[in-house]
Amino acid sequence: MSGNHPRLTGKIDPNKINRIETPRISESILQAFRDLGHCTCAVSDALDELGIPGAIPGSMLKCIIPGSHLVGLALTLRNVARQGDLNEIVRSKNNLMAEAECHNLAQTGDVLVIQGVQSASNMGGVGGRMGKRQGELGAIVDGVVRDVADFKESEYPIWSKGVTPITGKWRGQSEEINGPVTICDVLVNPGDLVVADESGVCFVPRQFVDAVLLLAQKKVRLEEDLSQKINQGWSIPDIVNPLP
């Protein structure tokens, strides 16, 4: 590795790093999504109109810090369950998890997206502090995490399937960084847009961000107009069936 690329940690075979840098969506597009506020519902509606699967309910991926929301770019990691005798693996102290390498490669505005194992932690509090320092906005984990109090203290939000005290050091191994991952049956590529809030998580493929943004903005404007009419005392029939 040369140039401005970071020095690798050595925790994963470099051949398993699909790309060093996450593809970037323009800052103007990202800011436009941020300006929509807590917008997963509007983004989900836009994805529906375009026939793109990408929305995951908050009942499946719940945020450990209530009230959190983010708009960022996917930095992906794929973990798999580790094979072998657990007692022997623990005695060997051979950790094959490479989440730290993701933090090492992270750019400001990235969101760590992990296709993880379900029976043990894919990320802990130290990782959250690394990610926060590197400029990550948070993480989305199809799997479980641990050290909830640490994530809250460092203000690093995570949307996950659950929490556990059980370490993944000996129970999982990282197979690929910045390659395609599947999160709750949704395909996510590095650099895809990630939108998350208390309603859930939406992934928007990079090639569709402009179209999704226009539809989401339209949805937000419509709801703002309807809310204003409610506050102004319009009758429900006039709100639901506006006059021409």
With b for 16 or more beta-carbon neighbours within 10 A and e for fewer, the 203-237 pattern comes to bbbbebbeebbebbbebbeeeeeeeeeeeeeeeee
Reported pTM = 0.92
Q: Are 194 and 109 in contact (CB under 8 A)?
A: no
Domains of the chain by residue range: 14-31+57-204
Q: Is 85 annotated as a binding residue?
A: no
**pLDDT tens series, the chain, 244 aa:** 334 667 888 878 888 998 888 999 999 999 999 999 999 999 999 999 999 999 999 999 999 999 999 999 999 999 999 999 999 999 999 999 999 999 999 999 999 999 999 999 999 999 999 999 999 999 999 999 999 999 999 999 999 999 999 999 999 999 999 999 999 999 999 999 999 999 999 999 999 999 999 999 999 998 888 888 888 898 888 888 765 5
Q: Could you say which of 3.40.50.300, 3.50.30.40, 3.10.100.10, 3.30.470.10 is the CATH number of the domain covering 14-31+57-204?
A: 3.50.30.40
To the question of whether residue 146 is assigned a binding role by annotation, the answer is yes
Q: How many CB atoms lie within 10 A of CB 162?
A: 12
